[in-house]
Amino acid sequence: MSHVELLNLCKSYDQTTFAVEDINVSIKEGEFFILVGPSGCGKSTMLRMIAGLEDISAGELKIHGATANHLPPSKRNLSMVFQNYALYPHLTVEENILFGLKVRKVKKAERSERCQRAAAMLGLTDYLKRKPRELSGGQRQRVALARAVVSEAPLCLMDEPLSNLDAKLRGHMRTEIRQLQRQLGMTMIYVTHDQVEAMTMGDRIMVLKDGQVQQVGSPLDIYNAPANLFVATFIGAPPMNIAKATVDRMNRELAIGSLRLPIEEQLLMRISSDTVQLGIRPEQIARADAPTPEHVQWHVTLTNVEVLGNETLLAFKVGEHEWKAKWLGQWPYQLHETIAISFAKEHLYLFDGETGKTLVSPDQNQPYLRGAVSLESS
């Protein structure tokens, strides 16, 4: 059953430029749904429209099947966790947690019971009498979460709640929020610009750019089969390696500097421009073994080496582009050292040079790329 539906939803502040344009999505009951994209893409605006904090310029918002465009926030049966915690500094933790219930005139006994239950769930029982200034950043975020939990609203909206925390605490809080959502069975819509949060927390992800939906799907679907070049480079760490390739129609090849990649006629017919963007993820680049027809192999000169302990990032030039390889383990290569690398052609992506739409992705089993390629430094 759909909990939240957005039907051709638009938001414009000046009637000409859209902050959010023509959004269509159905969010299921009990789903952890992620809105992800770069700053200014419209994800927070969309969340505030669902919450009732922003007016809807066009389209329809439905919550549990009922149109909610003009409902005030208090009538939408939802809770919201903000980026800056939004705690009252003069109130104790307990008073902050219970503030919304007092406004709604929930009975005192029930308020106390809900507070104790939420505090125990989030490890706040020993801090109920403290003021926010006496808490760490992670504890303050837990108070904001507890306030959402005690409301017992079936829908919870979160606007980048972990962005103010350090990396270690973010990782811990990601796990806590995901477990809390599963335990309570609530529908959660979560805004983030961090693709790691999106990949590790969401049941489904909506990728946004400039107020428009680029792709909606499960984390692995979006990672393995991105709809376009933007999604491919936004999801993944380090991002996908990209290089512009010239289409040689006479020889049925793609050319990147001295690298030549033969292609089948059926792919050539799908390419409308004179260039394409070729992509490969850093983790799919390996050390070169014996050349095979299925592998691209060549020698490159390292421009940077980052040994991170459990993995090593190697940077090198491919034509005018800098690519990275991510290898497990410790590989203490030297700067400017020349090494042999390879990757399987089945791991290559191709994107249209004009529209950026995906032409070939690994899930298609690569019926379009042929022939062995082995060459020296490009």
Q: Which tokens is 84 given?
A: 């800056």
Torsion on CA atoms 71, 74, 76, 78, rounded to nearest 10: 150
Q: Which tokens is 246 given?
A: 């010239």
Whether omega before 238 lies within 30 degrees of 0, making that bond cis, reads yes
* pLDDT for position 374: 45
Mean pLDDT of all residues belonging to the chain: 88
CA atoms of 124 and 342, how far apart (whole Å): 52
**Percent of the chain topping pLDDT 90:** 55
Q: What is the DSSP letter of 129?
A: T
Which superfamily does CATH assign the domain made up of 230-375 to?
Nucleic acid-binding proteins (2.40.50.140)
* pLDDT for position 372: 44
Distance, first Cα to last Cα, the chain: 54
Q: Which tokens is 295 given?
A: 């592998």
Is residue 120 within 8 Å of 150, Cβ to Cβ?
no
Q: Is the pLDDT of residue 375 over 80?
A: no
Angle between helices 137-150 and 108-121 (to 10 degrees): 140
Q: How confident is the model at residue 339 (pLDDT cuts 50, 70, 90)?
A: very high
* pLDDT for position 254: 85
**Burial per residue of 77-99, b for 16 or more beta-carbon CB atoms within 10 angstroms, e otherwise:** ebbbbebebebeeeebbbbbbbe
Q: Is the pLDDT of residue 1 over 70?
A: no
Q: How confident is the model at residue 366 (pLDDT cuts 50, 70, 90)?
A: low
Is the domain covering 2-226 a CATH 3.30.160.110 domain?
Answer: no
Q: Which tokens is 342 given?
A: 């390879």
Could you tell me the CA-to-CA distances from 69 to 49, 51, 349 in Å, in that order?
A: 8, 10, 41
Q: How confident is the model at residue 269 (pLDDT cuts 50, 70, 90)?
A: confident
Lowest-confidence pick of 24-33, 85-94, 249-258, 326-335 = 249-258
| Neighbour-count burial of 35, counting CB atoms closer than 10 A to its CB (0-12 exposed, 13-18 middle, 19+ buried) | buried
* pLDDT for position 8: 95
Q: Which tokens is 217 given?
A: 């799907």
Q: Which tokens is 370 given?
A: 């042929």
- 190 Cβ partners below 8 Å, 6+ apart? 32, 33, 34, 35, 157, 158, 161, 177, 197, 201, 202
Q: What is the DSSP letter of 357?
A: B
Chain segment 148-174, per-residue pLDDT in tens: 889 989 999 999 988 877 888 888 888
Q: Which residue has the higher pLDDT, 169 or 201?
A: 201
Angle between helices 108-121 and 93-103 (to 10 degrees): 130
Q: How confident is the model at residue 365 (pLDDT cuts 50, 70, 90)?
A: low
* pLDDT for position 320: 79
CA atoms of 81 and 98, how far apart (whole Å): 15
* pLDDT for position 129: 93
**Burial per residue of 3-31, b for 16 or more beta-carbon CB atoms within 10 angstroms, e otherwise:** bbbbeebbbeeeeeebbbbebebebeebb
* pLDDT for position 369: 65
Give mean pLDDT, residues 189-218.
94
Q: For the chain, where do the domains classified as CATH 3.40.50.300 start and end?
A: 2-226
Closest to 141 measured CA to CA, from 117, 162, 166: 162
Chain segment 216-262, per-residue pLDDT in tens: 999 999 999 999 999 999 999 899 999 998 888 888 888 887 777 88
Q: Is the pLDDT of residue 352 over 80?
A: yes
Q: How confident is the model at residue 376 (pLDDT cuts 50, 70, 90)?
A: very low
* pLDDT for position 267: 81
Q: Which tokens is 199 given?
A: 């990949």
Q: Which residue has the higher pLDDT, 376 or 187?
A: 187
- Report the run of H or E that residue 263 belongs to, with start and end: none
Q: For the chain, where do the domains classified as CATH 2.40.50.140 start and end?
A: 230-375
* pLDDT for position 371: 55
Closest to 87 measured CA to CA, from 34, 169, 161: 161
CA atoms of 61 and 11, how far apart (whole Å): 12
